[in-house]
Structure 1
């Protein structure tokens, strides 16, 4: 049985991406549906408490699960489906699922791309750390400090 993790934000887009994977001739698979909740706008999010934010995420996830579960064909009933809400960075969540299900886990990115933005492909590795991002500004500040010290 093949193990597949599907990153989902919207039902219609996920259904289009998964159409070839859910073909009638495809063999049953173990599906891990990773529901990635959208970010709340800054003006709304700052007025919500943590409990309200978690409640909104739970409501959103249950409605997405109901709509996506109804969209899966009857053949998917033979397969095992696990539902997970992404509460941590995706690369960490995928690494945990790989440890749980094995290295053969196939990741399908069915997230809807943002409007006006370039969609980056999902990478399993962690993004570059702050050390890489701050290397150049630290080097410039250090060089300027040395130059000021030498001029005195």
Structure 2
């Protein structure tokens, strides 16, 4: 039996990525699906005022909502589905899952975060002059360099 680990943080995005996999006939061999929920991080400001048990309760409720949208699609093929909630780093969590269930395919169905790839981000990058003040600062710096040794 093949194993496929699917990382999910938003149900609608994940369903869009999983539907072509299921239709392409990837499920010709029996597949065990392991759906891993990657809950959004709670900001530092909120976490100061919320207890650990309340955070864990929120993560559990979040996972239930996401899983109830994704699991029926995978179970419709008649294959086993295991749900997990990610804890700690994904590298360590993946290694633990692969040790427990065997090597398998990994599908990252998480929504890409904006600004995660700074090289591809449009607009000025660090070190580039920005606007009128950036241009004025560049001119002033150039003038200082020209007159400093003379």
Provide the TM-score with structure 1 as the length reference.
Answer: 0.69
Match of 2:117 in 1: 118
C-alpha distance in 1, partners of 2:51/2:16?
35
Given that residues 5 and 106 in structure 1 are in contact (C-alpha distance below 8 angstroms), is that contact kept between their aligned partners in structure 2? yes
Match of 1:56 in 2: 58
Shift of 1:48: 0.5
Gaps in structure 2 of 5+ consecutive residues: 119-150
Alpha-carbon displacement from aligned partner over 1:64-102 (angstroms, at most 9, x marks no partner): 111222444722xx1110000001211111111111122
C-alpha distance in 2, partners of 1:40/1:68?
23
After superposition, the Cα gap between the structure-2 partners of 1:83 and 1:101, relative to the gap in structure 1 and judged at 3 Å, is same
C-alpha distance in 2, partners of 1:73/1:17?
16
- The 5-angstrom pairing of residues 60-71 of structure 1 reads 60-71=62-73
Given that residues 14 and 111 in structure 1 are in contact (C-alpha distance below 8 angstroms), is that contact kept between their aligned partners in structure 2? yes
> What RMSD in Å do the two structures reach over aligned CA positions?
1.9
Shift of 1:50: 0.5
C-alpha distance in 2, partners of 1:84/1:113?
21
After superposition, the Cα gap between the structure-2 partners of 1:10 and 1:33, relative to the gap in structure 1 and judged at 3 Å, is same
SS in 1 for 2:106: strand
- Give 1 or 2 for the bigger CA radius of gyration: 2
C-alpha distance in 1, partners of 2:99/2:116?
32
Paired residues, number: 116
C-alpha distance in 2, partners of 1:102/1:73?
21
Match of 2:130 in 1: none
Given that residues 8 and 109 in structure 1 are in contact (C-alpha distance below 8 angstroms), is that contact kept between their aligned partners in structure 2? yes
Gaps in structure 1 of 5+ consecutive residues: 120-152
